[in-house]
Amino acid sequence: MENKTYEPCRPRKVAFLGLGVMGYEMAGHLRRAGHDVCVYNRTVGKAERWVREFGGSMAETPRQAVIDCDVVFACVGNDDDVRSIVLGEDGALAGMKPGAVFVDNTTDSAGLAREMSRLFAEHGLAFVDAPVSGGQAGAQKGVLTVMCGGDESVFNAVRDVIMAFSCAVTYLGPSGNGQLAKMCNQICIAGVVQGLAEAIAFGSNAGLDMKAVLKVIEKGAAGSWQMRERGSTMVDGKFDFGFAVDWMRKDLGIAMNEARINGSSLPLTALVDQFYGEVQQKGGSRWDTSSLIVRLPKQ
């Protein structure tokens, strides 16, 4: 991991629920920042490994993990996964102390965020939807971008804790707005990656040295994070750099469903989602999102 400078922050007792590719690293940064961290993961062995690596503690259920915690973080798969760790006699809601804050870093629906916000408020608790962008590399380096929705005073109370694994934490309005912003993020990525894939395939078929071409054009108007970080690996046909096609399709599905609700038209997003379906059919479900290029013919 590259060196990260942590902002001065009053140490808190926090829980982290979900130690996947993102959550494992995010929880580690919270520990490095000086917080007392208790983790929960469905696969117990991963929680045990996290404790061996970072210290802190682990619990067998979400309810046990959140006892006496000031802030509870979650980073799981989807709406149903969030409900599974929140609800029920072993869920987080049953164990959180009055005044505690639940920060959901999962990418899920805006409707779920609003539902959770109401539910937590009924129990004297606060909820912030706070999906992240930056992928596995951003989580490892602690430089994720976090888009937050909820009560602004609650956001202000937990922002310094969230900064442990972030480079930018932004308040965007009421509950659900963080998730809506993440949908915008994924819509943008879908179009950018498809354009990059087409450019690389086109240039390769024309006989160009595409690594040299990318090095030139990334400094101009065509430049993007995707081009800088994934362009050369796309040329090499390497697709093992984090955020998987399966998860991208999940996110695009959420965005397209929201578009149907608010009357938006997402023709390019729908098309790229279809293209990712073709990548899945080629066996690329766990390849990263730059694998769109595999469906394009190359001479």
What residues are labeled active site? 182
Q: Could you say which DSSP state residue 89 is in?
A: T
Residue 269 C-alpha from the chain's centroid = 19
Strand partners, 291: none
Q: Which of 59, 94, 95, 75 is nearest to 17 (CA)?
A: 75
Residue 89 C-alpha from the chain's centroid = 27
Per-residue burial over 73-112, b = 16 or more CB atoms within 10 Å of its CB, e = otherwise = bbbbbbbebbbbbbeeeebbbebbeeebbbbbbbbbbbeb
Give how far Cα 1 sits from Cα of 105, 136, 232, 244, Å.
Answer: 21, 12, 22, 21
